[in-house]
């Protein structure tokens, strides 16, 4: 279950960024001067390659490096030492003066020494640069590499992890909110046959951590799940249904794990679950209920994650949602309001608005709209026409992360 709970620049980073700017800009100036000395100032990469007789890829990198105003992009284009030496020999053969050639060599050596001292390697250096002004492309590349490595290490992967929450006022107690939850994994694969994998940890908490669990939980498909069994929705799971083992830990948490089984795509499975939580949350603003926070814990290497929240139109006192990513690697305790994880990976972002009624289709999950309509019908909640939707969708989320969706609860 998803938990339901109520810059200034760093001086050392600023110092590093300032020194990095000087180091890279000096190298850019030296390369620009070198190209000008060969009569190629402002020339296209194809002309640089043709005139100097060097590989077109090397000419393209040198040109892009010298021209880029974006520091991170410039660094991405710096050739290796071998490439620099090939370019310098070609420039010397073209009659470029020795002082311009040595200026490039000196600046390049200074750059590589700076990288060695401050970061150790180029990829780490690029990540440190991006921290001063985030480069989404670089971060995506790093997260994809992290996913690929994590899959190989842990022996599992999935195409998508999904969680959808629908909230509406309780019919039994209008001061409370009922929650419909649908979630699971699409195309979960084992890379080793001996690997089971936990897909649900069952516990609850409220905003202040008082363990208020005074609500009823009901599986959407009771014929497929009895007692504490995983509440699967058979129509949206692969067949035969995944083998699920259940056990209780010393911490009192109930664990459901996908059993070990066949590897690769032939053993791939999709497991989707659904249940209702009746009178699960307070509906109105109070001093101890000023916001709603809904969490999705990401522990599995996945290509993408989809987190949707749908609010009934009568919940007009619930504001728009924002999402935040928190790192769990440190197991950092929460100390502030809401007692949640206190170290965001990056600033909060506005969740994507899906409208009222929401446009719920998703290219990565073609059956997504049908699943939501099926779940609402099973719950007896009608259709999506009376809900407004919000979405967070991420590619290659790093693990372990906590993805939160949060909205203000207004005093109205």
Distance in angstroms (rounded) separating the CA atoms of residues 319 and 410 = 7
pLDDT averaged per 10 residues in sequence order, the chain, 412 residues: 43 70 89 92 89 92 86 85 94 94 94 90 80 67 91 96 96 94 96 90 50 73 77 92 84 85 92 93 92 94 96 96 89 57 79 93 90 95 95 93 94 74
Phi, psi (deg, nearest 5) at residue 306: -125, 120
Q: How far apart are CA 103 and CA 80, in angstroms?
A: 17
Reduced to 3 states (helix: H, G, I; strand: E, B; else coil), residue 236 is helix
Q: Where are the alpha helices (DSSP H) in 68-159?
A: 71-76, 81-93, 98-118, 122-131, 136-154
pLDDT of residue 209: 41
Residue 396 CA to residue 301 CA, distance in Å, equals 8
Q: What pLDDT, on a 0 to 100 scale, did the predictor assign at position 134?
A: 60
3-class secondary structure per residue, 136-189: HHHHHHHHHHHHHHHHHHHCEEEEEEEEEEEEEECCCCCCEEEEEEEEEEEEEE
Integer angstrom CA distances of residue 119 from 13, 16, 28, 371: 12, 10, 20, 47
Give the pLDDT of residue 19: 86
Query: Distance (Å, rounded) from C-alpha 200 to C-alpha 1?
Result: 7
Structure tokens, 368 = 């997504």
What DSSP string runs through 28-39? HHHHHHHHHHTT
DSSP state, residue 398: -
Please, are residues 306 and 259 in contact by the beta-carbon 8 Å criterion?
Answer: no
Output DSSP code: residue 333: P
d(CA 259, CA 59): 53
Using DSSP, state whether 400 is helix, strand or coil. coil
Model pTM greater than 0.75?
no
Q: Give the residue among 267, 297, 279 at the shortest CA–CA distance from 183.
A: 297
Q: Please give the Cα distance from 246 to 255 (Å, whole number).
A: 6
Q: What is the pLDDT of residue 43?
A: 87
Q: Per-residue DSSP letters for 44-60?
A: -HHHHHHHHT--HHHHH
Beta-strand pair 254-258/197-202: antiparallel
pLDDT value, residue 127: 76
Q: Strands of 387-395's sheet, edge to edge?
A: 216-219, 269-282, 176-190, 156-169, 302-312, 387-395, 352-355
Cα(295)–Cα(341) distance, integer angstroms: 10
pLDDT of residue 3: 42
* pLDDT (0 to 100) of residue 84: 94
Q: Judge contact between 190 and 156, C-beta under 8 A.
A: yes
The number of angstroms, rounded, from the C-alpha of 329 to the middle of its chain's C-alpha atoms is 15
Residue 384 and residue 347 in contact, taking contact as beta carbons nearer than 8 Å: no
* C-beta neighbour count of 145 within 10 angstroms: 12
């Amino acid at each position: 279950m998803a938990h339901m709970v109520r810059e200034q620049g760093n001086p050392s980073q600023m110092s590093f960024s300032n020194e990095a700017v000087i180091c890279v800009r000096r190298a850019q100036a030296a390369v620009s001067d070198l190209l000008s000395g060969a009569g190629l100032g402002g020339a296209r990469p194809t002309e640089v390659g043709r005139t100097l007789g060097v590989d077109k890829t090397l000419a393209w990198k040198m040109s892009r490096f010298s021209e880029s105003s974006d520091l991170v992009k410039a660094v991405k284009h710096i050739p290796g030492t071998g490439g620099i030496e090939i370019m310098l020999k070609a420039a010397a053969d073209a009659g470029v003066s020795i002082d311009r050639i040595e200026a490039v060599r000196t600046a390049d050596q200074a750059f590589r020494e700076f990288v060695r001292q401050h970061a150790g390697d180029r990829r780490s250096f690029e990540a440190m640069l991006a921290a001063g002004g985030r480069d989404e492309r670089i971060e995506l590349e790093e997260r994809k590499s992290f996913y690929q490595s994590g899959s190989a290490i842990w022996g599992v992967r999935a195409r998508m992890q999904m969680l959808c929450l629908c909230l509406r006022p309780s019919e039994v107690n209008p001061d409370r909110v009922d929650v419909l939850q649908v979630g699971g994994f699409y195309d979960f694969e084992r890379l080793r046959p001996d690997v089971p994998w936990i897909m649900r940890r069952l516990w609850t908490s409220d905003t202040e951590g008082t363990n208020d669990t005074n609500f009823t939980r009901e599986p959407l498909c009771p014929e497929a799940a009895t007692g504490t069994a995983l509440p699967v929705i058979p129509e949206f799971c692969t067949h035969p249904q995944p083998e699920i083992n259940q056990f209780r830990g010393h911490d009192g948490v109930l664990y459901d794990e996908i059993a070990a089984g066949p590897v690769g795509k032939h053993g791939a499975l999709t497991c989707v679950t659904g249940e209702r939580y009746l009178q699960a949350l307070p509906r109105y603003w109070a001093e101890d209920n000023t916001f709603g926070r809904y969490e999705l814990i990401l522990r599995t290497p996945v290509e993408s994650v989809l987190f949707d929240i749908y609010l009934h139109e009568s919940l007009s006192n619930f504001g728009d949602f924002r999402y935040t990513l928190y790192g769990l690697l440190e197991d950092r305790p929460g100390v502030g309001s809401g007692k949640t994880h206190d170290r965001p990976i990056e600033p909060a972002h506005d969740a994507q608005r899906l409208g009222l009624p929401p446009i719920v289709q998703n290219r990565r999950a073609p059956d997504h709209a049908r699943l939501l309509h099926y779940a609402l019908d099973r719950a007896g909640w009608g259709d999506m026409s009376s809900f407004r939707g919000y979405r967070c969708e991420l590619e290659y989320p790093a693990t372990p992360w906590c993805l939160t969706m949060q909205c203000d609860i207004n005093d109205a």
